[in-house]
Chain A
Amino acid sequence: MNSVSTPSKLYSGNFTYISSSPFLYFLPPLMGLLILWQSDDVSLIVVLLDVNPFFWASSAASVGDSTSPHHPTAILSFSKLLNHVIPFLNSLLLLNQLNQVVLVATGVNSCSYIYDSGDSEGESAGSVPAVCSEILRRLEEFVDKDRLLGKGPDKVVAAGVSSLLSGSLSLALCYIQRVFRSKARHPQPRILCLQSSPDGPEQYVAVMNSIFSAQRSMVPIDSCVMGVQHSAFLQQASYITGGVYLKPQHLDGLFQYLSAVFATDLQSRSFLQLPKPAGVDFRASCFCHKKTIDMGYVCSVCLSIFCKHHKKCSTCGSEFSQAPSDPNATPDRKRKTSEV
């Protein structure tokens, strides 16, 4: 079996291969073959890092504020976050020599690739200090660029509240699609969202579309929410794609959370008990005002969601002939279950 599974590049003493091989006996033959073909537990991890200046600056301000209702450990400064995340990225690379890590920054005006372990060339490229300094350098460049974009002429003041999760998810999915198409033997991809700022309901459709395309290409989305509130988007994303959703309680031990929960590769997850969320917020945003709603109107043609009755569907243009007689009790109002 080893002769089939092990590419010539691998050295024979690879620990992970030996440890995982006994499990293959319990798998149906076809599935075993599939896993061999995808070279066991080699992973491609796309990490989406929330680089939202407003959130990090305001949370830093509230740490000093004694009237803040939040416990100090519930809030992390950005430098501390980097102190947890960069070692985590390095440890992902150490887990398996063929592992690949891609870091994508989620800004408020743009998103960008920060680091790709597959790109690095040269002798010192793989070393921990080199990785660290490259990430920091590119991050600085990204923040500068993001700031300039925000100063553009058509700048909207309030647009800087939530990060562009939909954009970074799309970047991650595009990257994964490229890997799928370019190589016959590709590592198993997954996405890890490190999110801190609150959801932007105006991105609802775009985010949901990304989630569904991730589901279609069988890419799990893991999410680690470091903000104050739960993220309904990421709860749904992890629920739909079969990833792990976690909101750490003690942020000073973030690295521990990351390495204990999110470092596990997809194959090992079938043998492990990972944290499960108690409930998922399934509420949707309406298409007209981008509000998160409990109850609303659904277009019978294209399934667009609206918070109040319209004469015409703004998405597909269907006309609704009948106005409901009573807004409190119309039979065509659908109730979305929340917190199931």
Chain B
Amino acid sequence: MAAITMAAKYKTTVKEPGIPGVLKMMDDVFAFTPNDPRSAMKLKVDFRNIKGHKFSKDGSKQALLNLTQDPEKGGGYIFEFNNFTDRNACRDFVGKVLGKFQALASKQNDQPVSEKSTVSVEQLSTTEMERRMKLLREDSELQKLHKELVFGNILTESEFWATRKNLLDDDYARISKQRTGFKSAMLADIRPSTDGRTNKVTFSLTPEIIHQIFSEKPAVHRAFLNFVPSKMTEKDFWTKYCRAEYLHRTNNSVAAAAEAAEDEELAVFLKHDDILAEEARRKIRRVDPTLDMEADLGDDYTHLPDHGILRDGSKETTDAENDIARRTLAQDVNRHASVVLEGRALDIELGDTRTVAEALARSKQESSADKSDENANLERQERVSRMTEIEDLQATHSLPYAELCIKDPREYFDSQQVNALKALGSTVAGSRTIDHSLNTEEAYVYLLNEISEVKLQGLHNPIVQSEAALKVLSGLTQQISSTRYNLGKNPQESVLDRLPKRTKDEIMLHWTSIQELLRHFWSSYPITTSYLYNKVLRLKSAMTDIYQKLKAIKDVQSDFRHQISLLIQPMLQALDAAFAHYDAEENKHSKKNGAKPNGFVQ
């Protein structure tokens, strides 16, 4: 890679005017020499100290390049260039140099020379960094978690984000996919403006408008491709187009016909657009085949006097005898709407009309190529048969379902009975409800006696003693009102909402960090590398800390002690399970590996 030399201004902040001088970039070093030899601002910096580079957008006020030393602090060397081409040359050079260093650094990282190099060195692009920062800003819970775990040196930055790749990707996808489409405002007419003194009529066309004209009027697009620049210049072409538009506007069909007869190029703009007509026919084929659209054409009232749509102050009526196209407002609106909905297919920058026209032609070819006529016909037939289906004659649509398949019903239903009975003995013994000493026969006799007793004595009168009834009613009332107080009026209100806010926040924070830690903990098993081993050690000590804190919260005397301990219990259990697993693994390995020093696994 050769060196590069550019005139630039060096500044320490963006707002400063800067010191003019010469920037020289070499393979591993860049140097700045001020024009004024007295200035002390001489620089010679090793590229290894540069962690990233930022630059202002093309077309913004200043052509800036910022070589940053530390991505977090943001300090660095800012250079302003005379123009963007100079800046871009330097930017590309810096990009290459930095890329080379990064490749080297990551190579070093791959070799587990020391523990630190695998853990700490991270090369992040600025955009990646920004995305992470943005996510943290938007989600305060995530931010808290990040602060606690990453700044507490429990997890590294990359470990933390590794489980949240989907968040980052989502965010990225959302940003990149948005493209501007056509304006939904109707560009029906290029409004002519007259200066009022001469007979000159001025039309103004911008690249944006031209693009839209090409999309909405394929005939104009085709004419442009055919005529320009072989037959006429671009300017002539648009003049002709505008003239045609003007004729069209004035509703002067006689004049238009006369002009068209004289000038065949002009006639192109005034005739029916055959491409559009073809497209319309294709679309009609896709409409419900049982609908006869051609019959509907006969119901068109617009050709009758006093019918039609008011446009530009005059009634729009159709007169069929003239072959000069009379586009109706409805047609224009529909065409515009469909183009807007299709969206802008082109990625190229608007500017050169010729390239826009060609790119549009290419994209159209691609989209129409896949629809062959044969397919369309088949599809149409299929649709006809589907639409004319008579329900009564069809077999019932039975929904597909997965059958329950019990492989061995005998094993499932019978052989387990023995187990069940064994188990029953233990559950019943625990609850002490039924006296097994009771004879089956005795029990039935008792029941029959009870029934016959009711039969003989008849029903009691009154059924319920009034004191008992009162007791029941007041008991029920109290129960209902107390559950209402305890469970809150709406079912969405949870136990958490009744706790003091500080306790609630504390518990929530511990809960989220426990979840995060446990996720990392379990995903580290089986431990295959020393890196994982160290990670588990770190996780375990962090979990022990939280465990102690949870215990402390639980032991605090308060009105909510019971609820809090109910909430905390499952968290402690989850942690206990993790600790138990850790201990078991540790034991297993210490037995297996015998006296391996400092507990390294494998």
Q: Which residues of A come within 8 Å of B, CB atoms?
A: 51, 53-58, 60-62, 77-79, 82-84, 86-87, 132-133, 136, 139-140, 143-144, 146-147, 150, 156, 158-161, 197-198, 200-202, 227-229, 248-250, 252-257, 260-261, 273-276, 278, 287-292, 302, 314-317, 325-326, 328-329, 331, 335
Known contacts A278-B483, A326-B584, A328-B580; is-contact A82 B476 (Cβ 8 Å): no
CB atoms of A79 and B453 under 8 A apart: yes
Chain A residue numbers with a CB within 8 Å of B177 are: none
Instruction: Kindly state the separation between the CA atoms of A287 and B406 in the bound complex, as whole angstroms.
Output: 13
Q: Are B476 and A261 in contact (CB under 8 A)?
A: yes
The complex places the Cα of A228 from the Cα of B434 at a distance, in Å, of 10
How far, in whole Å, are A329 and B574 apart by their CA atoms in the complex?
A: 9
Q: Are A202 and B473 CB-contacts (below 8 A) given A136-B451, A252-B468?
A: no
Cross-chain contact B459 with A132 (CB below 8 angstroms): yes
Interchain CA distance A79-B581 in the complex, whole Å: 57
**CB atoms of B468 and A253 under 8 A apart:** yes
> At the interface, yes or no: B427 with Cβ under 8 Å from chain A?
yes
Supposing A274-B480, A290-B416, A331-B522 touch, asked if A87 and B469 sit within 8 A by C-beta, the answer is no
Given contacts A202-B424, A317-B408, contact A276 B435 (CB under 8 A): no
Q: A78 contacts B464, CB within 8 Å?
A: no
Contact with B451, one of A62, A139, A261, A315 (Cβ below 8 angstroms): A139
A79-B449 Cα distance, complex, nearest whole Å: 9
* Set B411, B433, B442, B465: member contacting A198, Cβ < 8 A: B433
- Chain B residue numbers with a CB within 8 Å of A315 are 406-407, 412
Chain B: minimal CB distance from A253 (Å): 4
In the bound complex, residues from chain A placing their C-beta under 8 Å from that of B422 are: 289
Chain A hits for B469, CB < 8 A: 253, 255-256
Q: How far is the CA of A228 from the CA of B468 in the complex (A)?
A: 20
Q: What is the interface of chain B, defined by CB distance below 8 A to chain A?
A: 404-408, 411-412, 416-417, 419-425, 427-428, 431, 433-435, 438, 440-444, 446-448, 450-455, 458-460, 463-465, 468-469, 471-473, 475-476, 479-480, 483-484, 486-487, 522, 570, 577-578, 580-581, 584
- Identify the 4 closest CB pairs spanning chains A and B, nearest first: A317-B407, A253-B472, A53-B443, A253-B468
Give chain B nearest CB distance to A145 CB in angstroms. Answer: 11
Q: Say whether, besides A252-B464, A260-B472, A329-B578, A58 and B440 are in contact (CB < 8 Å).
A: no
Q: Are A58 and B444 in contact (CB under 8 A)?
A: no
List of A residues within 8 angstroms of B406 by Cβ: 315-316
Contact B486 A136 (CB under 8 A): no
Contact among A136, A287, A325 with B454 in the assembled complex (CB-CB below 8 Å): A136
Across-interface contacts of A275 in B (CB, < 8 A) = 476, 479-480, 483
- In the bound complex, CA of A227 to CA of B428 (Å): 14
Say how far B199's CB is from chain A's closest CB, in angstroms. 66
Q: How far is the CB of A162 from chain B (nearest CB, A)?
A: 8
Q: Bound complex: CA of A227 vs CA of B447, how far in Å?
A: 16
CB of A43, distance to nearest CB on chain B (Å): 21
Q: Are B434 and A161 in contact (CB under 8 A)?
A: yes
Q: A287 to chain B: which residues have CB within 8 Å?
A: 416
Partner of A156, one of B407, B416, B421, B431: B421
Q: Once the chains bind, are B440 and A250 in contact (CB under 8 Å)? A: no
CA distance A136 to B229 in the complex (A): 106
Q: Are A51 and B447 in contact (CB under 8 A)?
A: yes
Contact present for A276 and B451 (CB under 8 Å)? no
Closest to A61 in B: B435
Nearest-neighbour CB distance to chain B for A267, whole angstroms, equals 20
* A252 partner residues in chain B, CB cutoff 8 A: 464-465, 468
B51: shortest Cβ distance to chain A, in Å?
A: 39
- Interchain CA distance A173-B320 in the complex, whole Å: 72
Knowing A78-B447, A140-B451, the reply to whether A58 touches B434 (Cβ < 8 A) is: yes
Q: Is the CB of A87 within 8 A of B451?
A: no
Contact of B459 among A57, A87, A200, A228 (CB under 8 A): A87
Q: Bound state CA distance, A266 and B598, in angstroms?
A: 70
**In the assembled complex, how far is the CB of residue A163 from the closest CB belonging to chain B, in whole angstroms?**
11
A-B contact pairs, 10 of them (CB 8 A): A53-B440, A61-B435, A78-B446, A78-B450, A252-B464, A256-B464, A278-B486, A290-B420, A290-B424, A292-B427
Which residue of A has the minimal Cβ distance to B577?
A329
* Interface contacts beyond A228-B433, A317-B407: sample of 7 additional A-B pairs, CB < 8 Å, sorted by A: A159-B421, A202-B417, A256-B468, A257-B476, A275-B476, A287-B416, A316-B407
Residues of chain A lying within 8 A (CB to CB) of residue B404? 302
| Closest A residue by C-beta to B455 | A136
- In the bound complex, do residue A201 and residue B424 qualify as a contact, i.e. CB atoms below 8 Å apart? yes
- The distance from the CB of A181 to the nearest CB of chain B, in whole angstroms, is 17
Query: Which residues from chain A contact B581 at a C-beta distance below 8 Å?
Result: 326, 328-329
A129 to chain B, nearest CB (A): 8
The smallest beta-carbon distance between A58 and chain B, in angstroms, is: 4
